[in-house]
A and B are shown apart, each in its own frame.
Chain A
Amino acid sequence: MLFMPTCREVSRKLSEAGDRRLGVGERMGLWVHLKACGACSNFSRQMTLLHTAMQRYREPRD
């Protein structure tokens, strides 16, 4: 069954994607949703930025 998530569910899955491997169905559902939804695409990029920023943040700067 195809997972047709709402923005609310997409935001949860995008966060969880940073912590666990999503299932095929979940990834498909996300992909379809993100294709069509600008707000969630922005949110997805924000999550990536946050993760990258935390990685830079933990690298000690001399």
Chain B
Amino acid sequence: MAVRSEKSDENNIALELEQTRPYLMRFALLQLRNETAAEDAVQETMLAALQGASRYAGQSSLKTWLVGILKHKIIDHLRRQAKEPQSYEATYEDFDNLFEEDGHWSEAPGDWGRPEDTLEQKEFFKVLELCLETLPAATARVFMMREWLGLDTDEICKELKITATNCWVVLYRARMGLRACLEKRWFSTKGAGA
């Protein structure tokens, strides 16, 4: 086995870690919605990365590796937060104003065109991020746990001590909010599909 200079590897990693910090911070903020908690999670990630630097063998990109660590740190934070109960109260009836009394859409969802045309545009992801930021904090937290951390609803329910039904409703709320925001800020201005 080749013996590489561990010291210089560590220095390189420390430098790269600093460059990745803003990227990690953005994700932590979206998920935790609290500057201090986000900074803590990123700091813990950095420390864990430095301590475990010898375990990073360059097999995946450094970012991917760090994001993996960050996810665990975020889950730890969520777990601690869950001890201070928050309100995830929501019912499907909250969205009744989007529909007529007979159950039809008040405003029918439009054609968003070909997904690939949208997904290849970097700008779209900036708008998506903006829309995520406009969701209510508790709603965004559940949505990010589901779609970004990739937890299933059972795990989310357990972490947040909410019922499965409640979880589905909150996710519905997030998706309805995001689609309305994307419609307004992206698709209606870009004329997608037209």
Contacts and interface: CB of A to CB of B under 8 A. Distances in A.
A35 interface: no
Given A6-B104, A56-B119, A58-B147, A43 B109 contact: yes
A11 B112 CA distance: 16
Contacts of B102: 6
B95 to A, nearest CB: 8
Interface string A1-25: 0000011110110011011100000
A51 B105 CA distance: 22
Interface string B10-29: 00000000000001000000
Given A48-B115, A52-B115, A16 B63 contact: no
B171 A19 contact: yes
Contact of B119 (A16, A19, A52, A62): A52
Contact of A15 (B109, B118, B129, B172): B172
A4 B179 CA distance: 25
A9 B104 CA distance: 10
A32 interface: no
Chain A binding surface, main DSSP class: helix
A24 to B, nearest CB: 19
Given A20-B153, A58-B147, A60-B63, A9 B103 contact: yes
A56 B125 contact: yes
Contacts of A38: 108
B148 A57 contact: yes
B172 A16 contact: yes
Interface of A: 6-9, 11-12, 15-16, 18-20, 38-40, 42-43, 45-58, 60, 62
Given A53-B124, A60-B23, 11 more contacts: A6-B103, A7-B105, A11-B172, A16-B171, A18-B175, A19-B146, A49-B112, A49-B115, A52-B115, A53-B118, A58-B67
